[in-house]
A and B are shown apart, each in its own frame.
Chain A
Amino acid sequence: MMKEKRKSSSPLQQGLRDGVPIGLGYFAVAFSLGIAARRAGLTAFQGFLTSALINASAGEYAGFKFIEENATYLAAAIMTLVANARYFLMSCALSQKITPDTPLRHRFLLGFYITDEFFGITIARREFDPVYTYGAVLFAAPCWAVGTALGIIAGNLLPAFLVSALSVALYGMFLAIIIPPARQNKIVGVFVLIGFALSFLASRLPLLANVSDGTKTIVLTLVISAAAAALFPVKEEADDEA
């Protein structure tokens, strides 16, 4: 992903350049997310606002599901907490990377834009420079927000076969996030499989037919993760790299 940069370009330019492939991916996935938002009854403006404020694929997707189900605000808050828990870890890791004298405004802004990709490029770069990250954000974040709004609009206009095909882009992004660590760490891989299996069971068991999808997601996530944490606690440094 990261290529050698020409020495002459500024951190902002380097960031912009690295933001282009990220932005293209975001646009495709956000479009797919917009289709889910439309199902929940959001307007294009509401979708744009959500994506501009939250910048989180799984978190927004889960939120749209909850809006669709007319869940309580508390349930939506808990689901957001669970779906976005990984950003907490990334923020912890980033707090070790940034220089101690980094002013508060940069801490707020960098935190606001922690996503898997922005975090990844910020950590991968040798010297820390928030301006580099902002360069990538400048290009890719608008792709995310505009893509969501266009997904909502186009979901109404596009033929059903295209909507069907585009709707899997979001799940492709989820897989791109969870599969590489599952390959590296067998325990993660096993619990990803257990997650697939129990989620499938929960969706098909007649006994649970009255429980909302959102509630199932929260309960399954917490139960399976707690089991993993109790049986296979991570070693001291395992969570530093997130």
Chain B
Amino acid sequence: MKLTLEPILSAKKVNAYFGAFQAIKDVSLDVAPHSVTALIGPSGCGKSTFLRTLNRLHEEIPGARFEGEVLLEGEDIYARGMDPVQVRRKIGMVFQKPNPFPSLSIFENVVVGLTLAGVRNRHLLEETAESALKNAALWDEVKDKLKAPGTSLSGGQQQRLCIARALAVKPPVILMDEPTSALDPISTARIEELLGEMKKEVTVIIVTHNMQQAARCSDHTAFFLLGELVEHARSPTLFSNPQDRRTEQYITGRFG
């Protein structure tokens, strides 16, 4: 499909392997800036693996291999001499299970990306923490206990803390790997609400096994099956008028 804007992130002929097993086959995908793209598909279809190739986290798994190109703002993050550490500072990630650092306070958790990057200015850290927590809709709940451990919060709050942590380094792109699958419906709704707000600041790519979630809060949806990208379209189009028979079968609940 044709995007109206220049893509901020562009995957070209991505192949990913675990040892001899090929998990991703020739996937190409363009992502428009300030949009939410949902990756859907049955378990084991490679949507999470694909997501993890986008910030070079895939290669941290022993035996994992990658082929292809991923352009971030026109620059290949897999180019020779490209430092994965720098890549991950520009492409943030929120994981399936909330994973704040148990040894750090709420405040320290939010700004840990900045302190890793060497920021020591207390004023700047406090300012960033406040705005990131506000953007993650957590500020009002934690502003009086910033020194409490991050793990003292509820599951939903912890996940919003992780979102704040990712937002705090102001990356152009944030990847989310089933961020609500471990949460209750109310916490899930809050995070879905947040997605709409977040795209003012960042581009979001979210893996979800929940088709309603994809339909509710994404602009574009990509359907993965057996490591291949079957269909990629505007979400309303994909869900109302799928072009591929397999997409239709999946979204109508024939399998999955």
Q: Do A and B bind each other?
A: no
Chain A residues at the B interface, C-beta cutoff of 8 Å: none
